[in-house]
Amino acid sequence: MKNGDAEKSITSDLDRCVKCGMCLPECPTYRLETNENESPRGRLALIEGLTSGRLKADSALVGHLDNCLACRRCERVCPSQVPYGRLIDAARERLFVDRKPRLTDLMRNPALLRAGVRIARTVPEALSRPFGALHRMHEIARALPVTAPAPPPGDYAPDPGQTRGHVGLFPGCIGNVQQSGALAAALRLLLHAGYRVSVPKTAVCCGALAQHAGDAAGARRLAATNQRAFGQELDAIVSLASGCGIHLDAYRPPLAAPHLDIGRFLLEQAGLRPNDFAPLPVSAGLHTACSLENVYRGSQWARALLDLIPELRIAAVGEAGQCCGAAGDYMLRRPQTAASLRAPVIEQTVCGEHPLLLTGNVGCAMHLAAGLRERGAQVEVLHPVELLARQLLCRKG
């Protein structure tokens, strides 16, 4: 899209806002601050002033836009269907050229991100403490234990005669390091369901971190790499992190095969049944990531899948669609705000005495695990597919 067309598109999208204020009580940062500039309506006014040239990109304006979690909860209630997510990304792209570098920019580089997480997990706390973002990454990375190694890139076949289709498994970047056990679990479930699974060697970060930071060019490069990686004929592409999934769906041109969240795919196409799983008579808290609820309206997918495990009791924790504060690198950049947004989920998990907390987004898992660790709570944080694979019965013949 040429610059002139882009400006017209932004202006047209901004004009759809009728300033009704229905978004205010839905916005996590407005709830905390009760400051109009920390609301979707206020930020849209700032973007309008920036686009028209009436406002300059001073530190106050940049701060208010930077504070947005991009959870898109406001879009759920907007009567005018303002594409707020698209507008905040466009504003950040405009500001990206003149923005000063920061440590969390390294998170947009997949190789550096993976290396950084590994270093953060192993570096002694005393060495990380003088470096704010590194120390926070150290605390977050260590809070989520690695349950199993990620499946190496390659093709995996189900038992002979059982093939029901061919799917690609998107490994992601941070998920490949921090939730490698979830990837292994997803592979096991997909093979059990009779699917041939391909994990491309050349797949990279989805690009969401770059896009939401304003680095649209970097996000496009990552998207192009993934489009080539999944260029073979597939029946579907499945991803595990809802934040990644939303960005994969936004690729233009789109991926060559339909993309589905792992929860939706297993629920609708895998043919799993309760007698596939061993009973588990415990209580588990289920956290629904804001990305999954606000964009996909998919809170029912994980719940319906987990209901397949006999005797498992599920209790929702956190308010549906409310961001827990993870939001990509937000938990590193705005740790106090992120902790405040996380607090209700931690409180409900601890008070509910749930030994398990299940969530379908890797950033949420890391952030919540760190909060539980700070609280001294002995709660295991897992992706729903990890629990399903753990209870999966192995039947021969």
**Residues near 326 by beta carbon (within 8 Å), at least 6 away in sequence:** 338, 342, 361, 363, 364, 366, 367, 368
How far are the Cα atoms of 104, 300, 352, 364 from residue 377, in angstroms, in the given order? Answer: 28, 27, 12, 17
**Residue 305 confidence class, pLDDT cut points 50, 70, 90:** very high
pLDDT in tens, 240-272: 999 999 999 999 999 999 999 999 999 999 999
Higher pLDDT, 31 or 397: 31
* Residue 271 identity: G
> Model confidence over 194-232: pLDDT tens digits?
999 999 999 999 999 889 989 999 999 999 999 999 988
Task: Give the domain 3-96 fold.
Answer: Fumarate Reductase Iron-sulfur Protein; Chain B, domain 2 (1.10.1060)
Tell me the average pLDDT of the chain: 90
At residue 41's C-alpha, the angle toward residues 36 and 47, to 5°, is 100
- Pairwise CA distance, residues 37 & 238, whole Å: 37
Determine how β-strand 195-199 pairs with β-strand 154-156.
antiparallel
Examine the pLDDT at 35 and tell me if it is beyond 60: yes
Under a CB-based contact definition with an 8 Å cutoff, are residues 6 and 61 in contact?
no
DSSP state of 103: G
CA–CA gap between residue 85 and residue 13 (Å, rounded): 11
d(CA 237, CA 234) in angstroms, rounded, equals: 7
At 362, the amino acid letter reads V
Torsion of CA 231, 233, 238, 244, to 10 degrees: 20
Q: How many residues are there in the chain?
A: 397
Question: Phi/psi of residue 194, each to 5°?
Answer: 95, 20
Structure-block tokens of residue 103: 């440590």
Domain limits, the chain: 3-96, 274-391
Say which residue, 374 or 126, is predicted with more confidence: 374
Specify the pLDDT at position 100. Answer: 66
* Distances, alpha carbon 65 to alpha carbons 29, 85, 96, 331, in Å: 11, 12, 12, 16
Q: What is the pLDDT of residue 299?
A: 80
Q: What pLDDT is recorded for position 397?
A: 42
Residue 386 CA to residue 267 CA, distance in Å, equals: 15
Written as one letter, the residue type at 338 is A
**3-class SS of residue 283:** strand
Under a CB-based contact definition with an 8 Å cutoff, are residues 390 and 181 in contact? no
Nearest to 71 by CA among 384, 364, 370, 382: 364
Q: Which fold has domain 274-391?
A: Rossmann fold (3.40.50)
Whole-angstrom distance, CA of residue 270 vs CA of residue 281: 24
DSSP letters, 140-207, are HHHHS---SPPPPSEEE--STT---EEEEEE--SHHHHHSHHHHHHHHHHHHHTTEEEEE-TT----S
Sheet order of strands, 154-156 included: 154-156, 195-199, 165-170, 236-239, 259-261
pLDDT tens, position by position, 315-370: 999 998 899 999 988 998 899 999 999 999 999 999 999 999 999 999 999 999 99
